[in-house]
Every structure is written in C-alpha cells, then in structure tokens.
Amino acid sequence: MGIDKKGSSWIRNLVFCLIFLCFSLLLHVDSQIPPEDDTGSGDGGDSDDDNIEERTRAMYDRFSNIGETVGPMILEPFSFCIKDVYADWNAAFDFKGDLSFLTQCIRNTKGDMMQRLCTVAEVKLYFSSYIQSGASGGDFISPNKNCNSTSWLSGCEPGWACSAGEEDAIDLTSSKDLPDRTQDCQRCCEGFFCPQGLTCMIPCPLGSYCPLSQLNKDTGYCDPYHYKLPPGQPNHTCGGANIWADIKSSREVFCSAGSFCPSTVEKKPCGSGYYCRTGSTTQTRCLKLTDCDPLSSNQNITAYGVILFGGLTFLLVFFYNCYDQVLSIRERKQAKSREAAAKSAKETVQARQVWKSAKDAAKKHAIVLQKSLSRTFSRRKSVREPDQPRADGQAKSGVDVAFPLPPTVTAIHMDPPDARRQDSGSLTKATREIEENPEAHEGLSFEIGDRNPKNNTKAKHRNTKSQIFRYAYNQIEKEKALQEQNMDLTYSGIITMATDTEIRKRPTIEVSFKELTLTLKAKNKHLLRCMTGKISPGRVSAVMGPSGAGKTTFLSALTGKATGCVRTGSILINGKAESIHSYKKIIGFVPQDDIVHGNLTVEENLWFSARCRLSAKLPRAEKVLVVERVIESLGLQSARDSLVGTVEMRGISGGQRKRVNVGLEMVMEPSLLILDEPTSGLDSSSSLLLLRALRREAIEGVNICMVVHQPSYTLFKMFDDLILLAKGGLLVYLGPAKKVEEYFAALGIAVPERVNPPDHFIDILEGIAKPGSDFNYKELPIRWMVHNGYAVPLDLQNDLAPVESSEAPDGNRAASSSAGQSFASDLWQDLKCFVQLKSDHIKHDLLMTHDLSNRATPGVFQQCKYFLGRVGKQRLREARIQAVDYLILLLAGACLGTLAKVSDETFGASGYSYTVIAVSLLCKIAALRTFSLDKLQYWRESSSGMSTLAHFLAKDLIDHFNIIIKPVVYLSMFYFFNNPRSSFLENYIVLACLVYCVTGISYAFAICFEPGSAQLWSALLPVVLTLIATQHKEDGFVSTIDDVCYPKWALEAFIIANAQRYPGVWLISRCGALYKSKYDVNHWSICLCILIVTGQIGRIVAFNLLLFSQKR
C-alpha cells in the first residue's frame, strides 16, 4: 500500500495488538484445556465430534471475554483509527455465528492447532517485514530461524504451516524468540492465512474469504491467491491463504463485491433485490424504486436524488411564488389605501374650495345688499321722526350693521341644529365642519380611535395603513394649497410660508469658514485657498465655477470628507469649533453619481432611507408623511412602484433616477443638505421641479448648498446665495445671488444682453471671455479679498503683475524641475502619498465624535431588521440568478458523481477532493455577489451614519439560506450517483460547514479586491489549497500550510465519516490510510469546528475590511 518506513512502527504495533494479542490470549487460554485423546480415534466418531464441538465452544466462550482485557491496550496508542474498540473488535472477530472453521481446523490438525498458531514474535516479524518492504504479496518476510537460505521447509511456502511438536510448550505471548516449527508441515487451515517465510497460522477476520486454493493449470497460480507452487517439489500442493493486509495488497482475501461471506470459509452470491459491497458479511436489501439484479455490488439510488431535487425545487418555487404573492397582495392593498386616502384628501380640498367660493359669493352679495339698504334707510331717515327704540334682534350701536346676511347665509348660521341636519347634504355637512374648525378637519369623515378631536389630531394615534395614509395626504394637500398661494416663491412669498404656523422648523446648522485652505499631502498642491464666508440655514446656496476650481472639494471639506489633505484655517458649526461629524445624523450629502439600489422600487429606496435615518421616536405616520411629501415634491408619483433599474435591467428614466438620488437625503429631514451637481442630466422642467422641492426644504430651516453647472436664468434667480470659485480653489464671490451682477459691474464687468449671467462669469474664469477691463481674470480672487478686507497671501500678490510676462518662465521652471526629478523620486513620492492617504482613511474611519444632532436613530438590531427586509426582497428579485447557481451545482454533482467515484481503496479520497474543489469554487464565486455589487451603496449609507454591523449581519443571515440549500442540491446528485458508505446526513453536515467556511472567505475577497481579481482568487485558492492538503508531508513549510488549509479539514471529515463504515477485514486498510493521511477518527467534530471557525474568521476579516474600506 506504499506506506513509508517512518510509519512502520505505528502499523506494526497496531497489527500486533489488534490481531495477535487477542488471538494469543484466546489460544493461550485454550492451551490450558486438556488435549484430545487420540487412542480411541478410530472407534467413537460421534463422541469425538462432540468432544471437538465442546472444545471449540469452550475456546470461543473464553475468547468472547477477552475484549475487555485487550480493549484499553489497543485504544491508547491506536485511537486515531479505532473509535469504538469493542464495536471494531466484534466486527472483525465475532465468530459466534459460525465456528465451523475452528472445528474443522482442530479436526484437520488432529488436535495440534495450538502448536501451529503464530506467536507474538512471529506476528511482529510478519507485519514489520510487510510494512518495511511495502510489498504487495510475495516473498517479503525477513529470513528467520525456520525459513532462511539454508533451511527452507515446505511450511515456509505460502499457504502452508508446520507444528512445533507436542513435546515443546509454546508461549504464544512471547515477543522475542521464534519457536522451532519444523514438524508435520501441511496446508493452512481454512479461515486462516499462512504467510510465505513463516511456518505458522493467523486467523482471517470477518469479511474475508480464506478457503483452500486450487491449482490453475493454465496460469500455474494457486487460485484465488497469487502464488505459485515451488519448483522441484512435485508432491507440494496449493495451500490456504497467504496474506492479509490492505485491499491493494491482499484483495484476494476480501469477500468480493456481489457476494457476501457469513464466515471466513463460506461465500454466497448476492440475491435479487439485494446488494453486497466488497468485504460484506451479509447482503443488504435494496431500497424501493431501485432495481438490484443478482450479484449486485451496489444499488442505484439516483431516483431518490431526482426526487429529492424535485421536492426541493418544488418547495423553493412554492416559497418564492407564495412570498411573491404575499408581497403583491400587500402592495396592492397598500396602493388601494393610498389611492383612497389621496381621493379623500382631494374631496376634502374640493369641499373647502366649494365652501370658500360660497362664502366669498355670499360676502359679495351681502356687500351689495348692504349698500342698497344703506341708501334706502338713509333716505327714509331724513323724512322720519327721531330714532325709535330698537327691537330685539337688531344690531347694537357700534356693531357693523352694514352686514345683513342673505337668506341662504342666514339659514346656514342661524337655523337650529336639528333643522340644519335635516336640510343639509353630505357635502354641506363637510363644508360646515370646515367652516367651524377648518384647521382640525382632515377628511370628510374618518374619526380614529378616540372621538376626542384633540386626540385625533395626533399622528401617533394613527395605526392602520388607511389612517396613516389619510393623515399624510391631508397634510400634503394642505401644504399644496399653501404653495398655490405662494406659487411665485418670491421673497415675500417665502417669508409668508416661513411664518406659517404649520411649517415645522428643524435644528439649524450654520457653517462658517475662515482662511480655509486645503493642501494635498506629499505633493504640496493647493486644492482650496484662503476661503472665508458662511452658508446659512434657510437659504439655498449655489457653488459654481469652471472645471478644476475645487467645487466638489469644497463640499467635501465642509462635510469633513476631504482626506489626504492638510487643512488650515477654521470651520465653525453654529459659531463653535465643533466637528461636523458630530452632526452626521442630520447632514445629507447627495453624490454626483446616482447611487441607488437598482433592484428596489422608488418607494422602497426612499422608505428604507427614512426608516433607518429618521428619529426612532418619530411615529410611523410622520415617517409616511415625510416619504409621501418627498415623492410628491419630486414628481415621482407615477414611478413610485417601478424598479429603479441597473445597467443590465431597464428601469426608470435618468431624470427620475437623479431625483431619487436626491430624495434619499431629503427623506431623512436633514438640517444641512449638500448636493453635488443634482441638476446635471436633468431637463429644465425637472430641474425646476427639483429646485422647488429644495426651496420647500429651505423654508423649514434647512441649510442647502449645491454645485450646479450652467443653470438657466430661471433657476439662477431661485438661489439665495452664490459661491463662485476660480481655478486653484480661490473664492471670487460669496454673497446674495441677486447682487452678483452689481458686484461685477463695479469691477467693470458687464453682462452682455441675452447672455445668462452665470455662464458669462464662468466663461471669464475659464479664460474664454475677456473681462473687458484693464485687469486679468486671474486677479478676480485677489480683488474679492481686497474688496472684503481679507489678507492677501504673498505668493498671490505676484499675480497682480501682468500674467503674460510670467507664463513662459513658469513653464520653463516646471519643465526643468520635472526633468530634474528621477523616476525613483517620483515613485517614492507616490508611495508616500498613497501611505498617507490610506492612513487618513483609517483615521477618518476610526474617528469617534460626540453626537450633537439630538436625533436618536434606530439601533443596530432595528436597522438589521430593516436590512433583512431589503436584502430579502433583493434576493427574491434575483431568483433567476439563484436558480442558475443551483443548476450549476446540480450539474457539478452529477458529473463528479459519475466520473469521480468514491473508491473503496481510498475511502473516497479522490471523489471528495473533487467535491471540495467544485463546491468551494462555485459557492465562492456565487458569494462574491453579496458584497461586490453594492459597494457604492454601502459607502454612501455608512457615511450617512447607517450601521455597518447591521448591513453585514443582514447580508450574512440571508446567505445562510444558501448555506442550507446548496449542499442538498449538490448531494442530490453526487451522493445518489455514488452511494458512499457514509450517511447522507454526515455528508450534508460536512458540506454545509464547508459552504459556511468558503462563504466567509469569499466575503473578504469581495470587499478587498475588485470583481475580476476576486473571481480569480476564488477560482485558484480551492485548487491550490486542495493540492497542498493532499500532499501529506511530514514536515517542512508545506506541512505547516497544510494545517491551516480548510480543504484538509473538509477532506478529513469526509474520509473519517466514510472510513468508519469499513469494519472487519477493512481494519488494516482503514488504519493504514488514516495514518498515511495523518487523520484521526476522533477529529470529525473538530474538523467541523475548524471549518466553522475558519468561516467566522473570514467573516470577521471581511467585516473589518468593510468597516475600513473607502471609495477608490
């Protein structure tokens, strides 16, 4: 079997203890039984047979009690391959079922069997010689006193044995001296084997077939064994078995496949409906739905695999359809509630408008009637006598008597309540309720909970979806009515809306900066220089400038996201030197790219952001109101239930996607909202709609600052403040947008007719248009500093000179300096810059600040619940991709189950090696999608304060579904095509632990590497580590790596589970294979634990990488 010499002592001692120690004790006990009396051997046949049977039974009864004596002796040094000593002992040497071979041997040897059994020394010689030579039969036993070059008896031939003689007492437990066995040499008894080079017998274990051999005249071999008769000895005949070792070396003694051997001297063919594996002692009944012909060595249980996969597929499809149906029904109910609430709110508005119109008409008619009556009474009064006493019901003195009510109005206001109820319709009732209490009315007729109006006005008492939606839409309709009154959004209109009692104010954030300068580390390059000013709450500020002016850098500096730079100057928050990160929960940052989840709908994206970022104490009705208000203000009603879409999957339009990108920050009700080019890619109407929504936010006290490119004049007039930057990060103007033309006109820069002012200013800063004065456009930042009394840096004062004279020398200096730098110095500078940038990223991630936002957002576990719901929906919408993963696993299981059979010789090592490679590779590549596809979304969410731990836990918990299902999919083909001896449950547990392990490793690859590199690592690592794990080196670097390779522990768990099902005659093969591979049958649970721990370590590494990962 090819075991190296270093392992000879282990196997030699194993076989010595396992085989001979037991039998030597057995026969040593039997040696104390009086020998058979041969004097009457010719007469009393029946009595002699009875005597032999009694001797055989007495010998076995004593033998059955030896297990408890020899068990501890075997278990201590050889526990790596024998887990249950007594079970393995009984499986190999429990002959109580058939003792006929012992009886026959006693009869054939005429009571001399004890003198022919091997002693401890002879068994030791046999196995030590076998292991050292690594032979596969033949002459491998070292020369000894009985069999050597000068003395070679017939008993030294394979299958023969000799007796030591009755006069010599044999000590079978002696492990030093070999006894003299030279008398009465004859064939080995059936059920025993006699090695070549020894003159003694050793019992064959159960599961073997050791009959007497027959000479095959055609081949010259003694069948079924592989030895020949010695030449020159015509009287020598074929003997018994000559070897028992591993299956590669002694396959002929193993009970062949398709047959079973109840004893070591009996072999029966396997019947129909049964199957018999190699080394079987009984035949095993085939399962239903299988067809087992006679002499079957295995059963074909592929049908069960198909049934299992079909059942699993049915359950998955059923679950998917049911869950999808539940979601659809839920969405339809929600849509109906929303539509009903919107309709109710519109009817309420219509009722208000009807009543207002009626009221205005009544007032107008009353005024006309009052004037007419005034003229009539005045004429009559001039001809009447002095005033008569007033009757009851007439107006008192000092009261506006010039407002008599018309009949319709009088009926409304003066009729008794009962008459009013009888004569009024539903619309009239609604209008009267609005007139009596217009602010408290929220619908036509929907009282919620307590009938007390004070309680009904509170959103926290609204629990059902219909109630919540009615509340939200009534509030929205009120706000729309208010906006219609101020549609022009002029300054006076803004003041009117801002002073309205229904406008809810938010915590304000004022950001002021003084001498703000950003310098890129290692390159000493200024990104921003000497910027002084502030952005105020309740105002919309626009940041403009040519390309390369540092507009995005300016926003990053305000939000504390500028890393890799040295900042000088100061940034004050509400006049205090506080970190902007302390207000992270109430700061919204809209990136330039549309970073949204494409496999979620518009409403799902907005609702998730609202739930995770709004205050946890805010009632659900208020959250719904916020989301509905944003959807309404951004004009996303028609697309609310549409998927946003990705590059591969068509979704909403680009303009709608841009508005969703902005809405993600609006729904969290920020106090400071930073937007990077929100109008890029939008048409004029969409841009106007977006600006109106932002102005609505500004009314609530939000500080809005946004970068815009080439806004139309209409949009430009909607900005409160303008921040104009020049190249190099220099400030050109910061102030009210309506005064920018006045400022530049004072400098002599007039805006031509029919030219958009911001376009003209940017053209000047780009150098495209000339200022039209006697100075260069590069002087504009300095003129702004001088205009405001700021100190001008010394290096900028040189720019006051004509620029043309300095351009050429500067270029020559730059060229000469760049030429003087070597490649090594450039490389060193780049390396320094990279290290400093990474260091700043880590410091930024580890930055711990005190929260000053006064907003308690949901905790980790509550956010994890929200993440679970979102990821679950995303996985359901990726069901086709999951189905493809399962199909590939299914094909891999079928192919490997057909091609890589689980061989008995290696206990399935080759088949399981391919399994580890295939499952690791496929599951790793599939798990890469968990974190590699939404890195941008994660970076945005984590920077806004969402929990990284909740994000990670939710994705990992959802992936546990695949950890449970994928092993079943693979084994439904591989296991049922192979039908290994280990159980399906054992294979499933190992494979589930393996999938858990490789999934954690794949997380780290997905987060650390780009998608292409991550896929390459996921494909190479399983192959390389499995090759290392199968080398089985004793020492060295490879052996060290082997101990930390997860394939090694997965293979060990697979092989251990399979090897334990090989009893009896397989014992030497099992121990030899496990020793060669350095496996231990007691390590099955340890292997599983190591796989799980490896998966957990991979997840911990992945989480830390995710925590410190930054956008490249």
Tens-place pLDDT, residues 79-137: 788 888 778 877 887 777 777 888 888 888 887 888 888 887 888 788 777 766 654 44
Which tens digit of pLDDT belongs to each residue from 134-189? 544 455 687 888 888 888 888 888 999 998 877 777 777 777 778 888 888 888 98
Residue 40: other Cβ atoms inside 10 A: 11
If you average pLDDT over every residue of the chain, what do you get? Answer: 78
Residue 148 to residues 132, 196, 197, 227, 289, Cα–Cα distance (Å): 18, 11, 8, 19, 59
What is the rounded distance in angstroms from the CA atom of residue 490 to the CA atom of residue 718? 9
pLDDT of res. 9: 52
11-25, 530-544, 809-823, 1082-1096: range with lowest mean pLDDT: 809-823
pLDDT of res. 313: 85
Sheet holding 540-544, edge to edge: 565-573, 511-520, 525-535, 730-736, 721-726, 540-544, 703-707, 672-676, 587-590
Burial letters 229-241, b for 16+ CB under 10 A, else e: beeeeeeebbbbb
Residue 971 near residue 991, CB atoms below 8 Å: yes
Binned at pLDDT 50, 70 and 90, residue 1075 comes out as: confident
Q: Which residue has the tokens 């009394």?
A: 789
- State what percent of residues in the chain have pLDDT above 90: 22
Residue 308 near residue 968, CB atoms below 8 Å: yes
pLDDT of res. 129: 77
pLDDT of res. 431: 43
Residue 838, pLDDT > 80, answer no
Most confident segment among 950-954, 1057-1061, 1106-1110: 950-954
To the nearest 10 degrees (0 to 180), the angle between helices 491-498 and 684-699 is: 50
pLDDT of res. 459: 46
State which amino acid sits at residue 528.
Answer: L
To the nearest 10 degrees (0 to 180), the angle between helices 823-846 and 1084-1108 is: 100
Phi, psi of 217 (to 5 degrees): -65, -25
If DSSP codes are grouped into helix, strand and coil, which group holds residue 351?
Answer: helix
State which amino acid sits at residue 612.
Answer: C
What is the rounded distance in angstroms from the CA atom of residue 194 to the CA atom of residue 185? 12
What is the rounded distance in angstroms from the CA atom of residue 360 to the CA atom of residue 744? 50
In DSSP terms, 601 is beta-bridged to 643
Higher pLDDT, 992 or 341: 992
Whole-model pTM: value is 0.80
What is the rounded distance in angstroms from the CA atom of residue 402 to the CA atom of residue 784? 63
Residue 95 to residues 204, 308, 382, 959, 1020, Cα–Cα distance (Å): 11, 40, 144, 52, 52
Residue 4, pLDDT > 70, answer no
What is the rounded distance in angstroms from the CA atom of residue 878 to the CA atom of residue 569? 50
Q: Is 651 exposed, middle or buried (0-12, 13-18, 19+ CB in 10 A)?
A: buried
What is the rounded distance in angstroms from the CA atom of residue 544 to the CA atom of residue 810? 28
Residue 387, pLDDT > 50, answer no
State which amino acid sits at residue 1049.
Answer: W
CB within 8 Å of 954: residues ≥ 6 apart: 864, 867, 868, 870, 871
Stretch 412-417: mean pLDDT: 40
Residue 196, pLDDT > 60, answer yes
Residue 889 near residue 971, CB atoms below 8 Å: no
Residue 681: other Cβ atoms inside 10 A: 13
Residue 529, pLDDT > 90, answer no
Q: What is the DSSP letter of 154?
A: G
pLDDT of res. 165: 79
Question: How many DSSP H helices and E strands does the chain contain?
Answer: 38, 19
Which tens digit of pLDDT belongs to each residue from 773-812? 667 788 888 889 888 888 888 777 665 544 333 333 444 4
Q: What's the chain's Rg over C-alpha atoms? A: 47
pLDDT of res. 665: 93
User: How many C-alpha atoms does 838 have within 13 Å on its Cβ side?
Assistant: 7
Residue 1079 near residue 1052, CB atoms below 8 Å: yes
What is the rounded distance in angstroms from the CA atom of residue 193 to the CA atom of residue 200? 9
Which tens digit of pLDDT belongs to each residue from 614-623? 999 888 888 9
If DSSP codes are grouped into helix, strand and coil, which group holds residue 572?
Answer: strand
Binned at pLDDT 50, 70 and 90, residue 836 comes out as: low
What is the rounded distance in angstroms from the CA atom of residue 1111 to the CA atom of residue 889? 34
